[in-house]
Amino acid sequence: MTTIVVDHPLSWRDIAAVAEGAELVLSAPARDRIAKARAIVDSLVEKGIRGYGINTGVGALCDVVIDRKQQQALSRNIVMSHACGVGEPLGRIETRAIMAAMVNTYAHGRSGVRVEVAELLCTMLKLDCVPLVRSRGSVGYLAHAACIALVMIGCGTAFLGDAKVGGAEALARIGQEPLVLQAKEGLSLVNGTACATGLACVALARMTHLADWADVAAAMTYENLGNQAGTFDHETLSMRRSQGLLEVGGTLRSLLAESPLLAKMAGRRTQDPLSLRAVPQIHGAVRDTLSYTVDVVDRELASVTDNPAVSGSVEVPLVHSQAHAVGAGIALAMDNLAVAASLLGAVSERRIDRLVNPLVSGLPAFLTMDSGTCTGFQVVQCTAASLAADNRRMAAPSTLDGGITAALQEDILTHATPGALKVLVVLRNVEEILAIELLSAAQAYDLQSVLDRAATPAMAVWNRIREIVPTYADDRPISDDIDSVRALMSIAAA
Last residue of a domain, one of 129, 159, 191: 191
Closest CA to 111 of 325, 294, 295: 325
The residue range of the domain holding 410 is 200-491
- State the average pLDDT over residues 190-212: 96
C-alpha distances out from residue 102 to 161, 214, 222, Å = 22, 32, 44
| Residue of 57 and 350 predicted with greater confidence | 350
For residue 454, the one-letter residue type is A
DSSP state of 136: E
pLDDT digits (tens, 9 = 90+) for 21-66: 999 999 999 999 999 999 999 999 898 888 888 888 776 677 777 7
Model pLDDT, residue 124: 98
Q: Please state, as a whole number, how many other Cβ atoms lie within 10 Å of the Cβ of residue 247.
A: 19
DSSP state of 228: -
Mean pLDDT taken over the chain: 92
Model pLDDT, residue 278: 97
Residues 187 and 116 in one domain: yes
Angle between helices 194-225 and 279-301 in degrees, nearest 10? 160
Would the pLDDT of 468 be above 50? yes
Residues 386 and 406 in one domain: yes
Which residues are CB-contacts of 91 (< 8 A; sequence separation ≥ 6)?
none
Angle at 12 between CA 10 and CA 13, to 5 degrees: 95
Residues 290 and 345 in one domain: yes
pLDDT digits (tens, 9 = 90+) for 353-408: 999 999 999 899 999 988 778 899 999 999 999 999 999 999 999 888 878 876 66
In this prediction, residue 477 has a pLDDT band, given cuts at 50, 70 and 90, of very high
CATH of the domain at 300: 1.20.200.10
Q: Please state, as a whole number, how many other Cβ atoms lie within 10 Å of the Cβ of residue 250.
A: 15
Query: What is the total count of domains within the chain?
Result: 2
Model pLDDT, residue 354: 97
Model pLDDT, residue 60: 67
Residues 310 and 327 in one domain: yes
Angle at 415 between CA 414 and CA 421, to 5 degrees: 150
pLDDT digits (tens, 9 = 90+) for 132-186: 999 887 776 678 999 999 999 999 999 998 899 999 999 999 999 999 999 999 9
Residues 262 and 409 in one domain: yes
- Decide: 115 and 34 in contact? Cβ < 8 Å: yes
**One-character DSSP codes across 437-460:** HHHHHHHHHHH-SS--TTS-HHHH
Would the pLDDT of 442 be above 80? yes
DSSP state of 156: S
| 3-class DSSP state of 8 | coil
In the chain, the N- to C-terminal Cα span, in Å, equals: 24
For residue 345, the one-letter residue type is G
Q: Which of 52, 141, 445, 472 is flagged as catalytic?
A: 52
Rounded CA separation 389/350 (Å): 12
Rounded CA separation 20/128 (Å): 10
pLDDT digits (tens, 9 = 90+) for 243-277: 999 999 999 999 998 888 888 887 777 889 999 99
Q: Which helix (H) or strand (E) holds 317?
A: strand 317-320
Residues 175 and 247 in one domain: no
Name the pTM for this structure: 0.95
Rounded CA separation 146/298 (Å): 24
**One-character DSSP codes across 240-287:** S--HHHHHHHHHHHHHTTT-HHHHHHTTS-SS--HHHHTHHHHHHHHH
Rounded CA separation 236/255 (Å): 18
Buried b (16+ CB within 10 A) or exposed e, 320-342: beeebbbbebbbbbbbbbbbbbb
Residues 137 and 210 in one domain: no
Q: Is 52 a catalytic residue?
A: yes
Residues 358 and 280 in one domain: yes
Model pLDDT, residue 454: 44
Q: Please state, as a whole number, how many other Cβ atoms lie within 10 Å of the Cβ of residue 272.
A: 18
- Decide: 132 and 119 in contact? Cβ < 8 Å: no
| Residue of 51 and 99 predicted with greater confidence | 99
Q: Please state, as a whole number, how many other Cβ atoms lie within 10 Å of the Cβ of residue 273.
A: 15
- State the average pLDDT over residues 90-98: 97
Residues 331 and 368 in one domain: yes
Question: What's the maximum distance between 2 C-alpha atoms anywhere in the chain?
Answer: 85
Closest CA to 420 of 241, 128, 194: 194
What is the number of residues in the chain? 494
CATH of the domain at 60: 1.10.275.10
C-alpha distances out from residue 263 to 71, 431, 474, Å = 76, 31, 32
Residues 232 and 120 in one domain: no
Residues 205 and 181 in one domain: no
Rg (CA), the chain: 26
Residues 128 and 263 in one domain: no
